[in-house]
């Protein structure tokens, strides 16, 4: 068999196989979390070890609201396009609406940005604790944000 014939044969076999593999590994573009006022999708999660030394700054905070409004998604500290975004390395925090926050809002607002989290925290409407709630994502993980399509 000539090298040209072998190349044509390999190309005919490999392109459909590679295309099928690429389609099987497509990321999920459905809504997964809010960041900077927009909804974002994600890709597979990779658990990371807790940071040591100064690398805690290489993580963005991910806020999981355990008693939020219907349809509330987790809220990220930053998203792609924000100069403070760290590329999808997350440190999970558990967030709960306080009694004061619940009585101040009827219905509870959907929080969609770090600004929303800070605003309500400073008003005493939210309690925030580092770490993941039971059944939540890992405390530290990597998961890039992708536009929802």
- pLDDT at residue number 76: 97
- pLDDT at residue number 34: 97
Domain coordinates of the chain in residue numbers?
A: 27-147
For residue 76, the number of C-alpha atoms closer than 13 Å in the C-beta half-sphere is: 32
- pLDDT at residue number 12: 33
Distance CA 62, CA 122 (A): 18
Per-residue pLDDT tens digits for 53-111: 777 788 999 999 999 999 999 999 999 999 999 999 999 999 999 999 999 999 999 99
Contact yes or no for 40/146 (Cβ under 8 A): yes
CA distances from 82 to 10, 37, 55, 86, 143 (A): 44, 12, 19, 9, 16
CA distances from 7 to 18, 19, 20, 21, 139 (A): 16, 18, 20, 20, 48
Q: Residue 37: pLDDT band by 50, 70, 90 thresholds? A: very high
User: Is it the case that residue 23 has pLDDT exceeding 70?
Assistant: no
Contact yes or no for 69/109 (Cβ under 8 A): yes
């Amino acid at each position: 068999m000539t090298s040209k014939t072998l190349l044509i044969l390999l190309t005919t076999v490999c392109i459909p196989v590679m295309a099928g593999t690429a389609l099987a590994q497509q990321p999920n573009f459905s809504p997964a979390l809010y960041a900077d006022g927009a909804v974002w999708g994600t890709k597979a999660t990779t658990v990371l070890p807790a940071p040591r030394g100064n690398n805690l700054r290489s993580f963005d905070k991910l806020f999981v609201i355990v008693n939020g409004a219907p349809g509330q998604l987790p809220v990220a500290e930053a998203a792609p396009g924000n100069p403070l975004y760290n590329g999808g390395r997350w440190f999970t925090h558990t967030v709960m609406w306080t009694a004061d926050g619940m009585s101040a809002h009827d219905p509870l607002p959907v929080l969609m940005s770090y600004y929303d989290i800070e605003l309500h925290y400073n008003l005493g409407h939210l309690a925030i604790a580092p770490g993941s709630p039971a059944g939540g994502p890992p405390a530290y993980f990597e998961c890039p944000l992708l536009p929802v399509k």
